[in-house]
Amino acid sequence: MSPGKQRDSARSRQLLLAAAAALFAERGFDRSTTREIGERAGVDPALIARYFGGKAQLYIAVLDLDRTSARPADLLEPERNLMLVNGVDQRGPGPIFRAAVTPLEDPAVQAAAMDMLHWRLVDPLCERFTREGLDRPQLRAEMTVAAFVGVVLSRHCGALRTLAEADTDEVVQLVLDMLGHGR
């Protein structure tokens, strides 16, 4: 392959990753199509199969991008909690939150989403609880994430009207209080 083609393929791959990351964040895995990803990237959607093997593998590649950065703060940090609540308020629950309560159709995508759920949310809490000397830190971390995801998803779907209409800062403070880490 010529150097020009290698540069074009690397660029196309990066464009697909960026477009997929944006669409998956906006719409989730199931509601994003390869055609839309290709259009947003400005490349032929057939390149998804060529470079990644398919949409599921592209999703996994997008998730793997997060692992190149530092582990995020735990959700008991007020700024992190606010960012997560705002994210779901603005874009809806992404595949990682949805995977916590409902299995995704593709088993490989489900496994990748669960792995990322642990890396982003459960593991930082488990590390905190271990540092704090709490017993059963893994169980505590998983229960805390389950409670948080339940509140955020209930707020998003509007099933609990007062929660859905509440001010975001108030919700974050009450969640932190409920989880025992309020200011």
With a pLDDT cut of 70, the percent of the chain lying above it is: 92
Tokens of 108: 């490989």
With a pLDDT cut of 90, the percent of the chain lying above it is: 55
Count of domains observed in the chain: 2
Q: How far apart are the first and last CA of the chain?
A: 59
The whole-angstrom separation of Cα 104 and Cα 117 is 13
Q: Tell me whether residue 183 is in a domain.
A: no
The helix or strand, by DSSP H or E, that contains position 155, with its residue range, turns out to be helix 137-157
pLDDT tens sequence across 74-126: 999 999 999 999 888 887 777 778 778 888 777 887 888 889 899 999 999 99
Tokens of 157: 């779907």
Shortest CA distance to 139 belongs to which of 125, 152, 160, 119? 125
Q: Tell me whether residue 72 is in a domain.
A: no
Final residue before a domain boundary, out of 43, 66, 89 = 66
Final residue before a domain boundary, out of 28, 46, 66 = 66
Asked if residue 27 and residue 97 are part of one domain, the reply reads: no
Asked if residue 131 and residue 87 are part of one domain, the reply reads: yes
Look at the block and give the residue holding tokens 């390869």. 34
Q: Tell me whether residue 20 is in a domain.
A: yes
pLDDT at 6: 55
Q: Tell me whether residue 27 is in a domain.
A: yes
Q: What one-character-per-residue DSSP string does 45-104 give?
A: THHHHHHHSSHHHHHHHHHHHHTTSPPPPPTTSHHHHHHHHHHHHHH---HHHHHHHS--
Final residue before a domain boundary, out of 66, 87, 111 = 66
pLDDT tens sequence across 121-180: 999 999 999 999 999 999 999 999 999 999 999 998 888 999 999 999 999 999 999 987
pLDDT at 93: 79
Look at the block and give the residue holding tokens 């009207």. 161
